[in-house]
Amino acid sequence: MSITVVGSVAFDSITTPAGSRERCLGGAATYFSLAASYFTPVRVVAVVGEDFTAAEESVFRARSIDLAGLERAPGKSFFWAGNYLQSLSEAKTEQTDLNVFADFNPQIPASYEDTRFLFLANIDPVLQLRVRQALPGAQLVCGDTMNYWIHDHREALLRTLAHLDVLLINDTEARLLSGESNPLRAAKKILTLGPRALVVKHGEYGATAYLGPDLFAAESASVPSVFRAPALPLDEVIDPTGAGDSFAGGFFGYIAAQPEFTPEVLRRALFYGSVMGSFAVERFGTERLQQLTRAEIDARFAALHQITHLDPIHQIPDLKSTGSSR
């Protein structure tokens, strides 16, 4: 089933310990849609300027991503420059030019109106809510946000949160949104704000999903309310840009491709999010996400499974499950 994503399509200039790239194709909607495109068809709602050429367009077309909702506006595309020289965990922003993004007013093409899966990438929560309301048929709505909106636009953000099914943020954002430093208490508080599930990303340590009591009501008694998926330890992180959006693409792309949304689908989606995040950081910009194969994705899922899953106890010779002493 198709996903519609609204968010930024941008150019990024990036410096990391591994080198530099000028004006890579970037933006949250770009990373999200490339990652999700390996699981399900994707439709983009975004705005770009006159510097967005056939070369950039071909990156989306090669993955069969629908650009009917990509508005072309006079002027330049959103531009961001940052470096990771101090830490690979956090970018230092050197420049942000909103350009055509400053006046972004998302327009939904008629061909998107049957959207059932909607991803609201990190943009102004007022615009997120507007898109959500323009697609009343959306059955599962997943959204991201960031410190700036949590801190300076809290009221607008709270109005949007009330209409989300799944909120996907990181540790710092969860702490700031909830005002709680304990992760479990923070999650419980956020689940009272609207989202029926919360996914908190921990960077190199993976992610945790917290399921609200009404998410899978019929099964709630037997469903654990927490699930954790690790990240894959990598020999080298070339460029962390877009890791979180790629995680979101793998996570939501997998969900949209399944016949129904169940607790087990949500857990596996967390693993696929981790898989796609791990690919994103292996090359600069979207390089790695442009050229994946299904076999590579399956192999990495298997690797992540192998480094986290115990053997079933009945398969282990001479090993008592209780570990009692001899």
> Residue numbers of the site for a copy of itself (CB under 8 A)?
1, 39-41, 88, 181-185, 187, 202, 204-206, 208, 224, 226-230, 233-237, 253-254, 256-260, 262, 264-265, 267-268, 271-272, 294, 298, 303, 305-311, 316, 318-320, 322-326
**What string of DSSP letters covers 76-113?**
--EEEEEE-SS-TTS-EEEEEE-GGGGG------GGGT
Tokens read off for 140: 């599962």
State the minimum distance, in angstroms, from the CB of residue 185 to a copy of itself.
6
By C-beta, is 39 or 79 nearer to a copy of itself?
Answer: 39
Report in angstroms the alpha-carbon separations of 164 from 144, 152, 159, 198, 279: 10, 20, 10, 10, 27
State the minimum distance, in angstroms, from the CB of residue 60 to a copy of itself.
16
State the minimum distance, in angstroms, from the CB of residue 257 to a copy of itself.
5
State the minimum distance, in angstroms, from the CB of residue 261 to a copy of itself.
11
CB 251 within 8 A of CB 168: yes
Q: Rounded to whole angstroms, how far apart are CA atoms 88 and 82?
A: 11
58: Cβ contacts below 8 Å, ≥ 6 apart: none
Q: Rounded to whole angstroms, how far apart are CA atoms 72 and 65?
A: 16
By C-beta, is 162 or 316 nearer to a copy of itself?
Answer: 316
Residue 211, H or E segment: strand 207-211
Q: What's the Rg (C-alpha) of the chain?
A: 20
State the minimum distance, in angstroms, from the CB of residue 235 to a copy of itself.
5
By C-beta, is 125 or 206 nearer to a copy of itself?
Answer: 206
By C-beta, is 11 or 301 nearer to a copy of itself?
Answer: 301
State the minimum distance, in angstroms, from the CB of residue 40 to a copy of itself.
4
By C-beta, is 127 or 200 nearer to a copy of itself?
Answer: 200
Calculate helix-pair angle for 28-36, 263-280, nearest 10 degrees: 120
By C-beta, is 78 or 239 nearer to a copy of itself?
Answer: 239
By C-beta, is 105 or 306 nearer to a copy of itself?
Answer: 306
State the minimum distance, in angstroms, from the CB of residue 307 to a copy of itself.
5
Residue 44 phi/psi, 5-degree rounding, is: -110, 135
DSSP state of 122: S
Q: What is the largest CA-CA distance in the chain?
A: 77
